[in-house]
Amino acid sequence: MLTAGATLFLIFAGGLVTSTGSGLAVPDWPLSYGMLMPPMVGGIFFEHGHRLIAATVGFLTLVLALWTARTERRAGVRRLAWSALGVVIAQGVLGGLTVLFLLPTSVSVSHACLAQTFFCLTIALAYATSREWLAVAPLEIDGAGVSNAATFATGVVFVQLLLGALMRHLHAGLAIPDFPLAFGRLVPHFESPGVVIHFSHRVGAVVVLLAVVRLVLSALRSGLRPLRRTATAALVLVLLQVGLGASTVLSVRAVLPTTLHVATGAALLGACFFAMLRARRLLSPVPGAPEPAAMVRAAA
Amino acid sequence: MVINPIARVLAGTLTLVLAACGGSQPTAPPPTQAPAAPAAAPGAPASAGSGSVTGKISFEGSAPAAEKVKLSADPKCAAMHKEGLERQAIKVTDGGLADVLVYVKSGAQGTEVPAEPALLDQKGCDYSPHMLVLVAGQKLKIRNSDDTLHNIHPRPKDNQEFNIGQPRQGMESEKSFDKPEILIPVGCDVHPWMRAYIAVLSNPYFSVTGEDGNFTIKGLPPGEYEIEAVHGKLGKDKAAAARITVKAGEAAKLDLTLRG
Chain segment A67-93, per-residue pLDDT in tens: 999 999 999 999 999 999 999 999 999
Paired with B104 in beta bridges are B227
Torsion over CA: A24, A25, A28, A29 (sign): negative
pLDDT score for B45: 54
- A130 Cβ neighbours under 8 A, 6+ residues apart: none
Q: For residue B30, what are the CA distances in angstroms to A89, A97, A104, A229, B210?
A: 21, 9, 11, 48, 38
Q: Flag if A43 and B192 touch (Cβ within 8 Å).
A: yes
Q: Which site among A19, A28, A44, A109 would you substitute to test the B interface, given the most B Cβ atoms closer than 10 Å to its Cβ? A: A44
Paired with B217 in beta bridges are B53
pLDDT score for A168: 93
pLDDT score for A1: 84
Q: Flag if A97 and B25 touch (Cβ within 8 Å).
A: no
Terminal Cα-to-Cα distance of chain B (whole angstroms): 70
Give percent of chain A above pLDDT 90. Answer: 84
pLDDT score for A295: 41
pLDDT score for B151: 95
Name the minimum distance, in Å, from the CA of A150 to any CA of chain B: 11
CB A170 within 8 A of CB A104: no
CA pair distance B130, B186, nearest whole angstrom: 9
User: How far, rounded to the nearest angstrom, does the alpha carbon of residue A117 sit from its chain's CA centroid?
Assistant: 6
For residue B12, give the 3-state DSSP assignment. helix
pLDDT score for B260: 84
Residue A292 touches chain B, beta carbons under 8 Å: yes
CB A106 within 8 A of CB B23: yes
CA pair distance B85, B70, nearest whole angstrom: 8
Residue in chain A nearest B167 by alpha carbon: A33
Q: In what order do the strands lie in the sheet with B100-106?
A: B206-208, B100-106, B223-231, B240-246
Task: Check if the interface score ipTM surpasses 0.90.
Answer: no
For residue A114, pLDDT over 70 is answered with yes
Q: Flag if B31 and A41 touch (Cβ within 8 Å).
A: no
pLDDT band of residue A186 (cuts 50, 70, 90) is: very high
pLDDT score for B141: 97
CA pair distance A215, B127, nearest whole angstrom: 55
CA pair distance A12, A36, nearest whole angstrom: 22
- Report chain B residues whose CB lies below 8 A from the CB of A158: 13, 16, 20
Where is B6: in which H helix or E strand? helix B4-21
CB A15 within 8 A of CB A140: no
For residue A11, pLDDT over 60 is answered with yes
Residue in chain A nearest B75 by alpha carbon: A41
For residue A279, pLDDT over 80 is answered with yes
Name the minimum distance, in Å, from the CA of A145 to any CA of chain B: 16
One DSSP character per residue, chain A reads -HHHHHHHHHHHHHHHHHHTT-TTSS-SSSSBTTBSS----HHHHHHHHHHHHHHHHHHHHHHHHHHHHHH---HHHHHHHHHHHHHHHHHHHHHHHHHHTT--HHHHHHHHHHHHHHHHHHHHHHHHTSHHHHHPPPEEEE-HHHHHHHHHHHHHHHHHHHHHHHHHHTT-TTSS-SSSSBTTBSS----SHHHHHHHHHHHHHHHHHHHHHHHHHHHHHHT-HHHHHHHHHHHHHHHHHHHHHHHHHHTTS-HHHHHHHHHHHHHHHHHHHHHHHHHHHHEESSTTPPPHHHHHHHH-
pLDDT score for A286: 53
CA pair distance A215, A232, nearest whole angstrom: 9
CA pair distance A215, A219, nearest whole angstrom: 6
CB B54 within 8 A of CB B215: yes
pLDDT band of residue A285 (cuts 50, 70, 90) is: low
pLDDT score for B194: 95
Q: In which region does residue A286 sit, left (phi positive, over 0), alpha (psi from -120 to 50) or beta (all else)?
A: beta
pLDDT band of residue A233 (cuts 50, 70, 90) is: very high
Q: What is the dihedral of CA A254, A259, A264, A266, to 10 degrees?
A: 150
Residue stretches of chain B with pLDDT short of 50: 1-44, 46
For residue A211, pLDDT over 60 is answered with yes
Q: Flag if A35 and B167 touch (Cβ within 8 Å).
A: yes
Cβ count near A67 (within 10 Å): 12
Q: Model confidence over A37-62: pLDDT tens digits? A: 999 999 999 999 999 999 999 999 99
pLDDT score for A139: 72
Average of per-residue pLDDT across A110-129: 95
Residue in chain A nearest B74 by alpha carbon: A41
Average of per-residue pLDDT across A205-216: 97
Name the burial class of residue B65, with classes exposed (0-12), middle (13-18) and buried (19+) by CB atoms within 10 angstroms of its CB: exposed
Q: Which amino acid, one-letter code, is at B55?
A: G
CA pair distance B110, A283, nearest whole angstrom: 81
pLDDT score for A66: 96
pLDDT score for B18: 36
For residue A224, pLDDT over 60 is answered with yes
Residue in chain A nearest B71 by alpha carbon: A42
